[in-house]
């Protein structure tokens, strides 16, 4: 898809998904400005998926409001909705990720994910 500058798009970046505005296009990538979160990034070491006992179990934050990121054109599609409230989308995406790992089969990986996600929740929403 070849988007236009100023167009709203849905984009996948690493293990998260976002609603964003196209700021710039260069070659096969678009510079996007983050406006909402539709899927919170997966926690842990991406090189060792679903493994809890790794050298560094990464805490993966969602892109911040208005944070800019280069994304390959093949990872974006047209977004038809209105511009969402960033905080509301972040909260909803985080709650979905927490619910997923809460309902998952008990494992050390799920436990580690929940620890990181709860820490992020406290960081993102310090007043609750």
Q: Residue 6: CB partners within 8 Å, gap ≥ 6? A: 21, 22
Structure confidence at residue 67 (pLDDT):
98
Q: Which CATH architecture has domain 8-124?
A: Roll (2.30)
Pair 59, 113: CB distance under 8 Å: no
Pair 49, 60: CB distance under 8 Å: no
Structure confidence at residue 30 (pLDDT):
97
Q: How far apart are CA 5 and CA 122, in angstroms?
A: 35
Domain ranges of the chain: 8-124
User: pTM for the complete prediction?
Assistant: 0.91
- The parts of the chain modelled with pLDDT lower than 70 are none
Q: How far apart are CA 5 and CA 103, in angstroms?
A: 40
Structure confidence at residue 93 (pLDDT):
98
| pLDDT tens, residue by residue, 92-128 | 999 999 999 999 888 999 999 999 999 999 999 998 7
Pair 34, 9: CB distance under 8 Å: no
Bridge-based pairing of strands 76-78 and 8-13 is: antiparallel
Structure confidence at residue 47 (pLDDT):
78
Structure confidence at residue 53 (pLDDT):
84
């Amino acid at each position: 898809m070849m988007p236009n500058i100023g167009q709203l798009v849905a984009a996948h970046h690493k293990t998260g998904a976002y609603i964003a505005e196209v700021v710039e296009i260069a070659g096969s990538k678009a510079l996007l400005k983050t406006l909402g979160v539709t899927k919170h990034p997966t926690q842990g070491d991406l090189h060792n998926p679903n493994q809890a006992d790794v050298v560094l179990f990464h805490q993966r934050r969602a892109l911040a409001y208005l944070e800019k990121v280069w994304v390959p054109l093949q990872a974006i599609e047209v977004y038809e909705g209105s511009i969402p409230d960033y905080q509301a989308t972040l909260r909803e995406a985080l709650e979905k990720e927490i619910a997923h790992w809460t309902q998952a089969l008990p494992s050390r990986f799920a436990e580690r994910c929940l620890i990181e996600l709860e820490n992020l929740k406290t960081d993102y929403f310090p007043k609750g």
